[in-house]
Chain A
Amino acid sequence: MSATDTVEKTMSPTHRRPKNRKRTPYSIFRTVMLVLIVAIFVGPLLWMLLSSFKTNVDIQNTSKAFIFEPILENYRAVIGDGGYLRFVFNSLWIAVGSTGLSLVIGVPAAYAMSRFSMQKSAMLVLMARIIPAISLLVPWFYVFANLGWVGSYGVMILSHMFILIPVSTYIMMSFFDSLPLELEEASLVDGLTPIGAFFRILLPLSVPGIATAGILSFIFSWNNFMFALVLTGRDTKTLPVAVFNFVSYASIDWGAIMAATVVMTLPIIVIALFLQKYIVSGLTAGATKG
């Protein structure tokens, strides 16, 4: 079972049952459960959104949980004087840079591992997923601090690559595994070099796989907190660290924090809404192979 097959099946299982079925007790039970599930998982996020439009007085007032006068002050405060746009730029730059570089390294590596069945390397990639991020951070911090690199964009991009390369290699490996070997054999017979076959035949076919790896990598980098907490300086701070630092002041400005978290999560939610197919296939890559 290949990754792409799974996605298609997960996405369109409509063939299973005829459309007009009777309301059995089970179907009613299921509808109730599904509504509950959606409420449980989306409700808190909606609460975050609601709170971002409340004054801090209204947030403190539990009788104004749902009925209140919406304001935009929180967003104005965050985007206006917080220097918040700077953090948005930092997050974006680091995420795009580390995702791009990870793909440049991860895609050919995955191809090599998939085609020349380098089992040992594959095991090492898996190891890289198992190792806690902090056990990379501790030694690398020591080195980076010694070199005086802490606080630069380069260090952030590099450190994110440590996480993203294994992720993208892993996803691409299961994608290449699903492409038939005959493709290259045919192109070799037709006179392409192995490198040419990779660039001209396989790469165009792997666009969905690369999109999957790229989207997941971007999300991982955008969401990363621990590395950014240690390795960013005043000017290179990313959004998660900026949001976290909001709290360190004496009183918690919940309205502004919620506005900041909404701004931070909006790109991710948009990606999830429009590209959910890729996220699901990335998550389940290799999972259904057993």
Chain B
Amino acid sequence: MAFVALLIGFPLGWTLYLSLTNAQGSVRSPFDFIGFENYGSVLADTDRFWPAAARTGVFTVGAVVLELIAGMGIALLLRRSFRGQKWVRVSILLPFVVTPVAVAMMWRLILEPNIGFANQFLGWFGIPAQPWLSSPETSLATLLLVDVWEFTPMVAIILLAGLTSLPDEPDEAARIDGASAWQRFWYVTLPLVRPVVIVAVVLRAIDALKTFDLLYVTKGQGGGSFNEAETLNIYVYGLNFQYNNFGVASAVLIIFFLMILAVMWLLTLRKKESDA
């Protein structure tokens, strides 16, 4: 398929090529082939690259784990029918279909330390005001929470589709045998729904790794003045479009891409294991 090749082959090939050159400045300026020099300097960069890689990992793992737990809880609650179920479904659809830039702006206002509703709300319970996005220490954790707000519903909806497609009989058999609710979930439902759980994890992990809009809109270029929210995505963006450092940016991209592939490969291994 020609377009698939065009879609993936060209960008990857071109990125790979650029990553071996010292292209920078203007896109029209000439550049030289410099071998693996960019890779060497990137991998030795403990100032920006490795912290950004670590933040990407923390953010992704944190988001996937929290969203999976909360999403499973919501899916289990929604599993049985009740009045108004349709409205609950629609309302949890909203956070992840609404434009991410709008979500980021909205949370910026809500989490504003002085005028935001978040601190006002905490105040009602006597909890002291938090700096949220304004402090380098709490920024990444706050953004993780916003991401959990935004994408837990998506995980819940995927898991719910899996749960509703399960047969009732194993659950009922376990109930008759006297299994507790937790035992029925852990030993009966979870193993049955496991393939769907893995799909949800893969989809969320892919998207969380690529998070850009939320981070860029709330913290700006470089992930804030101390780079406190800079992930690999934000780092590449800055290298390429702020500093026009095309060669180095391409090298980081290739490394980032290899990391993603490695993670996906590990996850599909797990999936095959569970299928067998």
Chain A: residues with CB nearer than 8 A to chain B?
Answer: 1, 5-6, 9-10, 13-14, 16-17, 30, 33-34, 37-38, 40-42, 44-45, 47-48, 51, 59-62, 65, 105, 109, 112, 118, 121, 124-125, 127-136, 138-143, 145-146, 162, 165-166, 219, 222-223, 225-226, 229-230, 239-240, 243-244, 247, 254, 257-258, 261, 264-265, 268-269, 271-273, 276, 279-280, 283-284, 286-288, 290
B89 touches A284 (CB 8 A): no
What is the distance, in angstroms, from B96's C-beta to the closest C-beta of chain A? 9
A109 touches B98 (CB 8 A): no
A62 interface neighbour in B7, B90, B120, B209, Cβ under 8 Å:
B120
B4 touches A145 (CB 8 A): no
A132 touches B157 (CB 8 A): no
Q: Which residue of B lies closest to A33 (CB)?
A: B77
Binds A, one of B40-48, B131-139, B160-168: B160-168
Given A37-B74, A44-B110, also A121-B1 (CB < 8 A): yes
Given A105-B3, A134-B236, A145-B27, also A287-B106 (CB < 8 A): no
B14 touches A225 (CB 8 A): no
B80 touches A16 (CB 8 A): yes
Q: Chain B 50-84, CB within 8 Å of chain A: the 1/0 string?
A: 00000000000000000000000010011111100
Given A44-B110, A124-B8, A135-B253, also A272-B94 (CB < 8 A): yes
Q: How many A-B residue pairs have CB under 8 A?
A: 243
Q: Which residue of A lies closest to B275 (CB)?
A: A290
Q: Which residue of A lies closest to B250 (CB)?
A: A138
B264 touches A130 (CB 8 A): yes
B164 touches A261 (CB 8 A): no
State the 9 A-B residue pairs at the shortest beta-carbon distance, nearest first. A290-B195, A240-B101, A261-B102, A139-B14, A284-B161, A145-B27, A132-B210, A139-B11, A48-B106
Given A280-B157, A284-B158, also A129-B233 (CB < 8 A): no
Q: Chain B 113-157, CB within 8 Å of chain A: the 1/0 string?
A: 001010010000000000000000000000000000100011001
B81 touches A132 (CB 8 A): no
Q: Verify if B180 is at the interface (C-beta below 8 Å from A).
A: no
A34 touches B77 (CB 8 A): yes
Q: Is the interface of B mostly helix, strand, loop or mixed?
A: helix
B11 touches A140 (CB 8 A): yes
B162 touches A135 (CB 8 A): no
**A261 and B101 alpha carbons, distance in the complex (Å):** 8
Q: Which residue of A lies closest to B17 (CB)?
A: A139
What chain A residues lie within 8 Å of B224 (beta carbons)? Answer: none
B162 interface neighbour in A40, A124, A141, A288, Cβ under 8 Å:
A288
What chain A residues lie within 8 Å of B165 (beta carbons)? Answer: 1, 5-6, 9, 288
**A130 and B210 alpha carbons, distance in the complex (Å):** 9
What is the distance, in angstroms, from A144's C-beta to the closest C-beta of chain B? 9
What is the distance, in angstroms, from B113's C-beta to the closest C-beta of chain A? 12
What chain B residues lie within 8 Å of A268 (beta carbons)? Answer: 97-99
Q: Which residue of A lies closest to B193 (CB)?
A: A288
What chain B residues lie within 8 Å of A16 (beta carbons)? Answer: 80-81, 168
Q: Which residue of A lies closest to B87 (CB)?
A: A38
A44 interface neighbour in B3, B93, B149, B213, Cβ under 8 Å:
B149
What is the distance, in angstroms, from A92's C-beta to the closest C-beta of chain B? 13
Query: B179-220: which residues lie under 8 A (CB-CB) from chain A?
Result: 195-196, 199-200, 203, 206, 209-210, 212-213, 216-217
What chain A residues lie within 8 Å of B90 (beta carbons)? Answer: 272-273, 276
**A33 and B147 alpha carbons, distance in the complex (Å):** 21
Q: Verify if B107 is at the interface (C-beta below 8 Å from A).
A: yes
What chain B residues lie within 8 Å of A283 (beta carbons)? Answer: 154, 157-158
Q: Chain B 15-26, CB within 8 Å of chain A: the 1/0 string?
A: 100100001000
Number of interface residues of B (CB under 8 A): 82
Given A140-B11, A276-B93, A288-B162, also A264-B80 (CB < 8 A): no
A37 touches B77 (CB 8 A): yes
What chain A residues lie within 8 Å of B199 (beta carbons)? Answer: 286-287, 290
Given A41-B149, A121-B1, A264-B102, also A226-B209 (CB < 8 A): no
**A239 and B160 alpha carbons, distance in the complex (Å):** 33
A138 touches B246 (CB 8 A): yes
What is the distance, in angstroms, from B6's C-beta to the closest C-beta of chain A? 9
Query: B221-276: which residues lie under 8 A (CB-CB) from chain A?
Result: 233, 236-237, 240-241, 246, 249-250, 253, 256-257, 260-261, 264, 275
What would be 16 A-B contacts, judged by CB atoms less than 8 Å apart?
A: A1-B165, A34-B88, A47-B109, A128-B4, A130-B260, A134-B212, A134-B237, A138-B15, A138-B18, A141-B27, A142-B14, A225-B99, A229-B216, A243-B101, A247-B105, A268-B98
Q: Verify if B10 is at the interface (C-beta below 8 Å from A).
A: yes
A124 touches B161 (CB 8 A): no
